[in-house]
Structures are given as C-alpha cells and as structure tokens.
Amino acid sequence: MALYSEKVMDHFMNPRNVGSIEDADGIGEVGNAKCGDIMKIYLKIENDILVDVKFETFGCGSAIASSSMATEMIIGKSIHEALELTNQAVCEALDGLPAHKVHCSVLAEEAIKNALKDYFDKNNIPYDAEKFKETDHDELHAAVHGE
C-alpha cells in the first residue's frame, strides 16, 4: 500500500485555494515548532456564509493537502457549519493520512477555528470558548512519535 492516498497526492500536487485574501474577515494561524508546519487561513464571509477561503501553508505534503481539503470542505458553508469541521473529517476526505501525519489535519482544523474566532471577536459575536480549545501539539507529536 502506498504511504499516501491518491487524494492526498492530488491536493498536494494541485492544491486548491492557495493564497491570501487582502480584506479577510477572519485570519487564523497555527504552527507546530516540532514538525515545522505553519498554516494560515483567510476567510471572506457574507451573511454568515464563507464565500471565499484561502490558505498559505509552509510544511510537508500532508500539511498542504490537509489545508487544501479543509478549505474545499468549508467554502459555501455557514460559519456555524465550518466551526464543526473536525480533523477526522479532513482525514476521511483525504482517504486517510499516515498516523505520524494526522497532526497536519489537526492543524488545519485549528487554523480554521482560529480564523472563525478572529471573525467572531472582530464582530462581537458571542461563542462557546470550549469549541476553540487547542491541542497540545508537542504532546500530540510526542505521542505519535513515541517520545
């Protein structure tokens, strides 16, 4: 079996929604110093709908593929639907990631949540702080790599 699915390779070789949005309504950035992946997500929102989503990712193929797939999954969704996106859903949409690369999908989920939180904060929209709890990436990295 190949290490990466065809979908992962497709989103890595032909990433969708790459770039930035000049007048973004929400911006979220996350990074993991241990693996070196950094993701930045930009949201354009009209009437609570994500009409455009862009990303800039510095990282491995799995990080780029996870960013690309995650943006595809939330464009056209409401802010509340986008908030429900999970890293598991991103992994499933990519037909899986190797265990040591699952953290890339976690970063994509968190970058989107951070961008939504930025939007909520800028617009004084109340939210449940529990939905924005971040993963301890050092702990996740250690668990995956047996450290």
Q: Which residues have a catalytic role annotated? A: 35, 104
CA distance 16 to 35: 23
Nearest Cα to 7, choosing from 56, 64, 60?
A: 64
What type of residue sits at position 132? F
29 phi and psi, to 5 degrees?
-130, 135
Extended beta strands in the chain, E state? 26-32, 37-46, 49-58
CB-based burial of residue 97 (10 Å sphere; 0-12 exposed, 13-18 middle, 19+ buried)?
buried
